[in-house]
Amino acid sequence: MRVNPRTTQSIAKAVIWSAAILVLVLLFAVIIYILSKGIPSITWQFLSQIPSDMGRSGGILSPIVGTLAVTLVAIVVATPLGVGTAFYLTEYTRESLITKIIRFSAESLAGIPSIVYGLFGFIFFVIYLHLGWSILSGGLTLAVMILPTIIRTSEEAIRTVPPMYREISFSLGGTKWQTMIKVLIPSALPGISTGIILGIGRCVAETAAVILTAGSALRLPTSLFSPTRTMAVHFYILAREGISLERAYGTAALLIILILLINIGANLLVSRFVAKSH
Amino acid sequence: MKKFGERIPQSLFFIIALSALSVLALITIFIFIEGVPLISKVGFFNFIFGMKWAPSLGQYGIFPMIVGTVAVTLGAIILGVPVALCCSIFLAEFAPKKISNLVRPAIQLLAGIPSVVYGFWGLIFIVPIIRNYLGGPGLSILAGSIILAIMILPTVISISEVSLLALPPLLKEGAFALGATHWQTIRTVLVPAARSGILASIILGIGRAVGETMAVIMVLGNAVALPHSILDPARTLTTNIGIEMGYASGEHQQALFATGIVLLVIIMILNGAAQYAVRRK
Amino acid sequence: MKKGIFKYPKILRISIVFCLVISLISLTFLIGCSRSENSVIVAGSTSVQPFAEVLAEEYMILHPGVNIDVQGGGSAAGILATQSGTCNIGMSSRNLAGTETKLWSVEIARDGLAIVVNPKNSISSLTIDQVRDIYSGKTGNWSLLGGKKTAIDVVTREDGSGTRSSFESLVMGKTEINARAMVQDSNGAVRQLVADDPAAIGFISLGLVDKTVKAVDLNGIIPTRENVTNGIYNLSRPFLFLSLHEPTGVAKDFIDFTLSDKGRQILDDQGLVTMAVNP
């Protein structure tokens, strides 16, 4: 007996809607739960004081600064390296086996678990290079971690610039360098920026690669060589050891808000440029 | 004959590219230099299939951790992919514009949440439920699978949705013209047409699940023994590194790098599979 | 047609310049002071860490301009970091062994080791042999000890933990801890697990026992600070500060502070047992 296709459609629709609702429920359960428990803790004192008494009291100023510092170092190091490499790969080399290998390697390295980067960073930066637990060690480890992603997304963005743009520029007498500055960078900027913002998001949320490279010191860092906690590490320690659930939720809520702002910024950037290019 | 003004930028970019690629090469070489001697010392089969991980006794068998990784990832795929696929179909085909414009950024947010937050959430909600209703300590492979399933949802949903939306509208119109219902069209025409992108998203999700560390450390129990059921605590390759890397030295440390090699190989295989899937379009 | 950077809308231009300026300022600020002689890194045992943090906080209030950073990682990590020079002062919650004894060390306090179970657990007293059998896997069910018929969820610390090593030498002896025991990486995490799971058993710092868990009597002796001080409750381990060579400078000053009356008062208040200073 053949089942009426309309019936199967109704059943399928029901299943699909339930799946979507399930995802939304999970979304609520995680995000709303953390935000509802955490936002009450986010006061001006919370944001402006450093943790004291192992984190049982005080605020999270040093983790906030730590997060920004480590992310800044990572971006400042990885962006020029990544975008420059992408330009070199697309503009100055011919498509060959070497470039294919490089692309595949960048792809694979982008997928390595962050803990492996943490292990490498700990042994190489902290111990071998004697940088100790520091913003520098943490930032460099994160830079290495996001470098493949930035190379990949930048390369993708540059390659998808229509060849016509380049041809027009050359036919107008522009050099490769001028073409790059005036034509390629503006066109590829949304893609490149997306890669950078993805990198920022990853740095902010990262724990495994940072906990043993930037350390877990509580005080406000005073130099690139100071150890520091990032917010994610601070949350992990507070929550795990049951030191202060209140402040743990506050830290998590702040993290989520930060990620939200980063995402919104990224979307605005992309939509603005997409609109402009039309 | 290139103009002089062209050589400077070219050399500049060459140096930049060389530096970046050397850094990436450094990591790979470092991992291999540290890890390979240990694998050859312990023996490849003893390392991969050895049942006992006891560094203080000089035993480095990672099979229980491989089982842990596979079990947790498999569970995440079984639980997460069907839901993710249905959700992506929902966003691409059924959702009214207003709802999809709200849901899409929300899913993007889910993707950015730090894994430690997921782990903690799982510790509070999922682990007690498993402990009270299903038995065992609650810290288990099942808990890990559930948390990882939630964590890979955004990846699979967004990429599958993009693949579905990228299909030429002609496919759908043609199917409708032939009298097919919406669901029949989705099932027999659209999903198969988008399957390479969907497959790529699943493989990316697997990659994320394999690489996850912090969330898993918090909910898996981290016992070194081979797990016998999904309610047993276990360790994965990543959590093994995470727990021990602070104090490992000498041989022990090399063993952790060797585990890193195994992870690198797994990721490369997954990447190769993803590229193959996408090329088969 | 506007050229170059002026193609972009005004707001974007301003924000780009703003971000660049902020980045430059922050970078110069951060690069400003490189590693100074006035900073000391204390690293190692997660058991000692909270106490070291409190001591550091107090010390930094008394000596402004000095930076003391406390890092966890476990006793083994602390010993390694001391040997490799990655930290100035190492922390350990177990005695040094083998080649480690070459390091300079001083005991800053003693800490009791408590065996804890869930408050809902009917059992309040165990013998050391019973604890050993539980941890080796020989005794698998609480009913064998007079409790409910549930499997025992054994919780231990990670391999490099000084707490675990102390537990192993004081309780386990030559017997190995069961491979199926769950591993957590800090006292607090063990305590939380035992507090949540009615069938769990674990060992933590005596100073960290609170209302969420129940410390069992061992061989009939109640684990209290007094009993640790007078030696009746003999499950205790030393908290050590380590250094590669005889400490100098700020590190020496901080260690002296820890051993001083003021430092010992802080540790006593936190629940540790400090030795009397020989005059």
pLDDT, tens digit, for every residue of A214-247? 988 888 888 888 899 999 999 999 988 888 888 9
Q: What are phi and psi for residue C201, nearest 5 degrees?
A: -140, 140
Note whether B244 contacts C183, CB cutoff 8 Å: no
Note whether B246 contacts C73, CB cutoff 8 Å: yes
Contact list, B116 vs chain A (CB under 8 Å)? 207, 232, 235-236, 239
Q: CB of C103 within 8 Å of any CB in chain A?
A: no
For the domain made up of B39-279, give the CATH fold: MetI-like fold (1.10.3720)
- When scoring B3, B83, B183, B210 by the number of chain A Cβ atoms within 10 A, the one with the most, hence best to mutate, is B183
- The domain limits of chain A are 41-277
Note whether C185 contacts B225, CB cutoff 8 Å: no
Pairing of strands C236-243, C89-92: antiparallel
pLDDT at B4 over 80: no
* Residues A82 and A195: beta-carbon distance below 8 Å: yes
* Residues C65 and C74: beta-carbon distance below 8 Å: no
- Calpha distance B217→C121 (Å, rounded): 26
- Calpha distance B219→B145 (Å, rounded): 10
Query: How close does chain A come to C45, measured CA to CA in Å?
Result: 13
Q: Chains meeting A at 3+ CB pairs closer than 8 A?
A: B, C
Residue C24 pLDDT: 63
Q: Among partner residues C4, C71, C189, which is closest to A182 by beta-carbon distance?
A: C4
- When scoring A2, A3, A6, A16 by the number of chain B Cβ atoms within 10 A, the one with the most, hence best to mutate, is A16
Q: Which CATH entry fits the domain spanning A41-277: 1.10.3720.10, 3.40.50.300, 2.130.10.10, 3.30.530.20?
A: 1.10.3720.10
> What three-state secondary structure class fits C91?
strand
Residue C168 pLDDT: 93
How many residues are listed for chain C in this entry? 279
Which residues does A142 contact at the CB level (< 8 Å), separation at least 6? A70, A71, A73, A74, A78, A117, A202, A203, A206, A209, A210
Query: How close does chain B come to A48, measured CA to CA in Å?
Result: 23
Note whether B244 contacts C182, CB cutoff 8 Å: no
* Residues C192 and B120: beta-carbon distance below 8 Å: no
Residue C277 pLDDT: 46
Residue C36 pLDDT: 56
C-alpha distances (whole Å) from C174 to each of A108, C32, C139, C140, C170 are 45, 54, 17, 19, 10
What's the mean pLDDT when you consider all of chain A?
Answer: 86
Tell me what the mean pLDDT of segment C185-209 comes to. Answer: 92
Residue type, A78: A
- Calpha distance B217→A33 (Å, rounded): 21
Q: CB of B181 within 8 Å of any CB in chain A?
A: yes
How many residues are listed for chain A in this entry? 278
- Calpha distance C119→C97 (Å, rounded): 36
Q: Which residue of C has its CA nearest to B56?
A: C159
> How many helices and strands in chain C, by DSSP H and E?
9, 11
**Chain A residues 40-59 with a CB less than 8 Å from chain C:** 52-54
Q: Which residue of C has its CA nearest to B241?
A: C158
Contact list, A216 vs chain C (CB under 8 Å)? 70-72
Q: Among partner residues B137, B243, B246, which is closest to C197 by beta-carbon distance?
A: B137
Tell me what the mean pLDDT of segment C216-228 comes to. Answer: 88
Contact list, B242 vs chain A (CB under 8 Å)? 115, 118, 208
What's the mean pLDDT when you consider all of chain B?
Answer: 88
Name the DSSP class of C148. Answer: -
Counting residues of chain C whose pLDDT is more than 70, the rounded percentage is 85
Q: CB of B176 within 8 Å of any CB in chain A?
A: no
- When scoring C19, C24, C71, C161 by the number of chain A Cβ atoms within 10 A, the one with the most, hence best to mutate, is C71
CA nearest neighbour of C187 among C148, C132, C237: C237
- Calpha distance A74→A138 (Å, rounded): 8
* Residues C25 and C73: beta-carbon distance below 8 Å: no
Residue C279 pLDDT: 33
- Calpha distance B266→B277 (Å, rounded): 16
B51 burial (CB, 10 Å; 0-12 / 13-18 / 19+) is middle
pLDDT-based confidence at residue C27 (cuts at 50, 70, 90) = low
A240 burial (CB, 10 Å; 0-12 / 13-18 / 19+) is buried
What's the mean pLDDT when you consider all of chain C?
Answer: 85
What DSSP line would sit under C95-111, residue for residue? Answer: ---GGGGGSEEEEEEEE
Residue C30 pLDDT: 54
- With tokens 């060992």, the residue in question is C203
pLDDT at C16 over 80: no
Note whether B264 contacts A112, CB cutoff 8 Å: yes
* Residues A113 and B238: beta-carbon distance below 8 Å: yes
Q: Among partner residues A27, A89, A177, which is closest to B110 by beta-carbon distance?
A: A27
Pairing of strands C200-205, C182-184: unpaired
- Calpha distance B235→C138 (Å, rounded): 22
Residue C278 pLDDT: 38
CA nearest neighbour of B117 among C143, C59, A255: A255
Name the DSSP class of C115. Answer: E
Tell me what the mean pLDDT of segment B115-125 comes to. Answer: 93
Q: CB of C73 within 8 Å of any CB in chain A?
A: yes
Residue B85 is inside which H or E element, if any? helix B63-89
Which pTM was predicted? 0.89
Contact list, A249 vs chain B (CB under 8 Å)? none
Count chain B–chain C contacts defined by CB atoms under 8 A.
61
pLDDT at C1 over 50: no
- With tokens 């049951």, the residue in question is A242
Contact list, B124 vs chain C (CB under 8 Å)? none
Query: How close does chain C come to B71, measured CA to CA in Å?
Result: 17
Contact list, B30 vs chain A (CB under 8 Å)? 120, 123-124
What's the pLDDT tens digit per position in A124-140?
999 888 888 999 999 99
Note whether A208 contacts B16, CB cutoff 8 Å: no
Note whether A242 contacts C72, CB cutoff 8 Å: no
Q: What are phi and psi for residue C200, nearest 5 degrees?
A: -95, 155
Asked which of A89-98, B224-233, B250-259 is least confident by mean pLDDT, the reply is A89-98
Residue A44 pLDDT: 86
Residue C216 is inside which H or E element, if any? none
pLDDT-based confidence at residue A277 (cuts at 50, 70, 90) = low
- With tokens 């208040």, the residue in question is C269
CA nearest neighbour of A119 among C200, B83, B31: B31
What's the pLDDT tens digit per position in A229-238?
999 999 999 9
Q: Which residue of C has its CA nearest to A133?
A: C86
- Calpha distance A164→A166 (Å, rounded): 5
How far out from the chain centre does Cα C18 lie?
A: 43
Note whether C77 contacts B56, CB cutoff 8 Å: no
> What three-state secondary structure class fits C238?
strand
Note whether B223 contacts C183, CB cutoff 8 Å: yes
Q: CB of A217 within 8 Å of any CB in chain C?
A: yes
pLDDT-based confidence at residue C14 (cuts at 50, 70, 90) = low
Residue type, B52: K
* Structural tokens at position A198: 């993805």
CA nearest neighbour of B16 among A91, C105, A16: A91
**Chain B residues 112-171 with a CB less than 8 Å from chain A:** 112-118, 120-121, 125, 150, 153, 157
Residue A189 pLDDT: 82
Across A55-64, B6-15, C167-176, the highest mean pLDDT is recorded for C167-176
Residue B225 is inside which H or E element, if any? none
What's the pLDDT tens digit per position in A3-46?
787 888 888 889 888 988 898 898 888 999 999 999 998 888 88
What's the pLDDT tens digit per position in B25-68?
888 899 999 999 999 998 899 899 998 898 888 889 999 999 99
ipTM greater than 0.85, yes or no? yes
Q: CB of A227 within 8 Å of any CB in chain C?
A: yes
Residue C212 pLDDT: 92
Contact list, A123 vs chain C (CB under 8 Å)? none
- Calpha distance A56→C148 (Å, rounded): 36
Q: Among partner residues A240, A259, A267, which is closest to B113 by beta-carbon distance?
A: A259
